[in-house]
A = this chain, B = another copy of it.
Amino acid sequence: MKIGFIGTGVMGKSMAGHLQKAGHQLFLYTRTQEKAEELLNKGAVWCKTPAEVACQTEVVFTIVGEPHDVEEVYLGAEGILAGSSEGQMVIDMTTSQPSLARNIYEKAREKGVEALDAPVSGGDTGAKNGTLAIMVGGSKAAFEKALPLFETIGSNIVYQGEAGAGQHTKMSNQIAIATNMIGVCEALLYAQKAGLDLDNVLKSISTGAAGSWSLSNLAPRMIQGDFAPGFYVKHFIKDMKIAIEEAEKMGLELPGLSLAKKMYEELAARGEEESGTQALFNYWN
């Protein structure tokens, strides 16, 4: 199949690679062409604009940065919808605003184009191994049509409902992570101040009711002083901002999420924007 892929950053490069390996002909656009080089060397076609990608393909995937990037890539003068035609499918895998996903869905539908919002979770490792969780919003029929493609990229693929539902699910995911990160840091800090051996403490607490992915995977990095990014602080702040804006629209107050956002913003202001989310441990320094 002729497939467009826009955004070949850390995540996108691996995801596009899986589609290429499955035998699809890729048409690429990305802000920095060098990032696409490996895919281009293996036969992908370079396009000068998102519209040009859309002209030549049946399905277009996107995974870019911020919501305003998504907006530009889809709705800009040289955006995907400017080049797309009836019967095409467009799939945004960026973590972005549910309201923007609905907007793109409506605008696409006017042109006879099906749009899915399908953000992912699982990080660079999940992208590399093709084991991402994919949370999908849009029409059920479009989801079923896209499923074989999703299956080359991820392993936990769930249809969540109408346009925007994929993004809402991802927000729910980020909300659960955010507040738990505070708990993981506080549990470790307490143990450290109490003079305990932190590795032994993890042995006691990480397999029971206090257990979590973050406690098992990020607490050991905190202990080792390894704050290299798996997931960037700056990206997490972006996600928390979207979640809080959406919650406000629903009239929902989320004190845990608000606290986490405030703490991460303070951390970023102190120069930790490019650190991994486990750097929250340094908030107390």
**Which A residues fall within an 8 A CB radius of B?**
98, 121-123, 126, 133, 135, 156, 158-161, 165, 168-169, 171-180, 182-191, 193-197, 200-201, 203-205, 207-215, 217, 231, 243, 246-247, 250-257, 259, 263, 284
Contacts and interface: CB of A to CB of B under 8 A. Distances in A.
14 contacts: A121-B205, A133-B205, A165-B195, A168-B196, A171-B194, A172-B187, A175-B187, A176-B187, A183-B257, A190-B247, A208-B213, A211-B212, A212-B213, A255-B259
A250 B186 CA distance: 13
Nearest to A214: B209
A108 B197 CA distance: 25
Contacts of A204: 121, 133, 135, 156, 158, 160, 169, 173
Contact of A161 (B172, B196, B212, B259): B196
Q: State the oligomeric state as a number of copies.
A: 2
A183 to B, nearest CB: 3
Contact of A210 (B121, B160, B193, B246): B121
Nearest to A126: B208
Contacts of A175: 183, 186-187, 190
